[in-house]
Structure 1
Amino acid sequence: MGAIVYKVEDDIGCPESPQCDILMKAMDHYHKKSCIKFKEWSGEDNYVQIFFNRGDSGACWSPVGRVGKGPQRLSLGQRCWYLGIVIHELGHAAGFWHEMNRPDRDDWIYIYWNNIIPNFAHAFAKHDSHTVNNLGETFDYKSIMMYDEYAFSKNGVSPTLQAKTGYEIGPIWKKPGLSNSDVRRIHKLYSCKGAKAKDGFPYDTICTFNKHTCGFKNGDSSIWNWRSVNETDGYLYSTFESAGTTPGYLVSINFHNVAKQDKMKGPLGCVRFWYMIQSDSSASLKLSQAFLERVTQLNNDPETTFELWSNDTNSGNWIHVEIPLYVTRPFKLIFEAQFVEDNTYGTIALDDFELLYTECTGGEVNSPIPENSALDNATSQTPLVTTPIAVTNTMQDLFDTKQSIDVSKDTEHLQLL
């Protein structure tokens, strides 16, 4: 469906670091130029694991396309953090080899083998026409996948390759991004056209919290925690003992919006989950939706963040709720847990989260229509809440009983010496 699921490791420092900003700009470049959509990990089995390789400053590499099952790593060392280089590595993840390895490369470039660093000649190996597909595109010196004249040079001044036409190729980090030929190849490989997402994307997010948090993270403070009850059940929770009266923010991934042309999804979606509040005084749980200018936006704007729902039902019961929301713009969801100071103990818990791109079975929307929406008006009503599950055990008892690759041969490295 043209979606590449990715997970950014904590060492990159999102959302505040300059490295994270470069990475998001690189993904946004693909979103604007092509049908490829980078989708933040929310529990998928297969994904690209992007990490800051601090042990090797020049380690810019990625497997080419999907290799096997499970996570596959994409390395960005200290000297890899240029927009052109990050776009290049994402190109490998999308399925593209280096341009200089094409079967027909000898018609377009000279290779100076004597100038190549010993043990790096393999980087200039020519691919077999039976194992790669040029997708009907001619050799492109401007491709983001094309190395410069001094790649893997012994001394940095003797060229290792040159264009037979005399064209000056230049380093990848100076390139503005995908060339026209790169974009055409993406559209041919993924059978799509333009920047419109392919059919089937975005898809629903269903999270049981049994094995992980599905991409949910703490906001300003580490107040929410994840607990695995057993192999088939887990949940997220915040306690008065750890939070006090400090609000606890639990932030989702950035969700893609539905395409305007999509007749099967939107403009209304649905968020569903189970929650529980138990304390000896007062506590509450609130859900807000933050609309984003683009799905790669790192921080939400308070001016475009709206409360969808809140509840302070302090019963110790698990309660199911479903809330309509607009899905015509990128967005993230923010849960806020709050205890008052009169408490001496308390727990707020969350489980079985679902984000659907189709309408709820009932209820009306509590947030305004996103800007640039073709819809007319929004209404504000109480969302549908189903019957709570009665609980007679203590909170702790309830939590205890609640039921509810080897890729080395396919890895492309970018030399930074």
Structure 2
Amino acid sequence: MESYFSLPNRVGRIVLFAVLLQCHSHTHTHPHTHTLSLSLSHTHTHVILKAFEQYRLKSCIYYKPWSGEENYISVFKGNGCFSSVGNRRVGKQRLSIGSGCDRIATIEHEFLHALGFWHEQSRSDRDDYVSIIWDRITEGKEHNFNKYNDSTSSALNVPYDYGSMMHYSKKAFQNGSEPTIVTRIPAFSDVIGQRMEFSDSDLLKLNRLYNCSSSSTFLDSCDFESENICGMIQSRENEDNANWQRVSRAAGGPDTDYTNMGRCDGKGYFMHFSTASGPEGNRALLESRVLYPRRGFQCLQFFLYNSGHANDRLRIWVREYDTANPDGTLRLIHEVKGTDWQLHHVSLNVSRKFRVVFEGIKGSGNAGGLSLDDINVSETSCPEHVWRIEDFRSVLENTPMDAAIYSPRFTSRDGYSFQMGLYPNGTAGSPGELGAYAHLTSGAAEDGVVWPARWKQMTMMLMDQNADIRRRMNNQRSVTTDPSMTVEGEARDHLVLLGFSKYLPFLRGLQCFLLIMQTLVARTAS
């Protein structure tokens, strides 16, 4: 079952959301085979498959189940998180994802080791960027701070990266309270050791090492900063009677694009269809370049701003091509409405070459218009639900510790009604750490589902709003409703009334989800 929530709106360029995902396994180029041990928990297996999806989206690397290859990775639940570096040519090469290793970035980190990557602070030039304080390191753990010369480890001509997911944190293997790694630029002291996602430099090195010229599941991205608008075209004659325009502001709004929000001089473009004049029913079609799918499912993601009339409409079509229809056949997918800049997802499910078509239709008013920005198309599954919190900075500043805010009620694919609870400033037990929790609620279909809700998986994610989906350093954590943690008796006998006839038993959550400071500073630059 899938679900999606969007939490802070505009803190740096970060959004938080939660997802219940199903993973799909397909193969393309640069295969790496693996086996998954039965000792792995449901959560570990789920997160490993999600990590594989990130490799497919951001590189040409894909992992496929072992089918007799001579050398392969055997993933098991060992004592901690560890992997050999590179292909050791030993046949079955073991990689441990043990307790406490269930972050997607931790798993990506270990598989980067298997692909040949040492830790960032093991580079030959590391002493120019960090100091290792040897007497603060736990006895017997000094080898983790070894430095390797250029014959052992190559930086692939990429600058030292404090933000690499392969970098240790300042507290790594400390024997007290003082840091074992001190950055020569103090501002990066709390940046090193991030376990959110691949950094830009991580991806640059990975794609250089494996000669990746494209990724496996990425199709297109456009922020409209280039005048050629990413190869998008206005529609052909007789199909519309108006045009989309590339602008940096529009009469009636918006005053800025979504990508830059007016912060960068000379940048900040988006596409706008004006509905300030012309007859009702005027149409403007904007089409993507031709896209070539490999999977049978895609997710279209974009931001929409409607400054016009409430009945101005945006329709999403696909134009599909085959030998019988060389000019393409239009198929309506979805109709979207919105107000100010809002994130939208649309599932496409196309199996032949196609274009995405955005059709703006003028309603009865004569003001403003429709605006598009930050379009991404990938062969991934779309989430189902979005929780958008306005002005999250104000929420952060005005919500006391131990106080929660709650999402609207959502219904999962298999009929469970649920709600998210968020502690923006943590609790007394974990101050300054954002806590996210999931609760079951009463719903129309609650008698038709199994109680308690066992072995349901949820992923909570903080979404980096980089315009290009490949460069997003999302922070995500997964939890599973383990039957051993269920309150004794019928779950519905332990419900707590929370207003307007909603009943919430506690399910699972993560109190120490994310340091608030990291929320504010982790990703503020483009």
TM-score normalized by the length of structure 2: 0.36
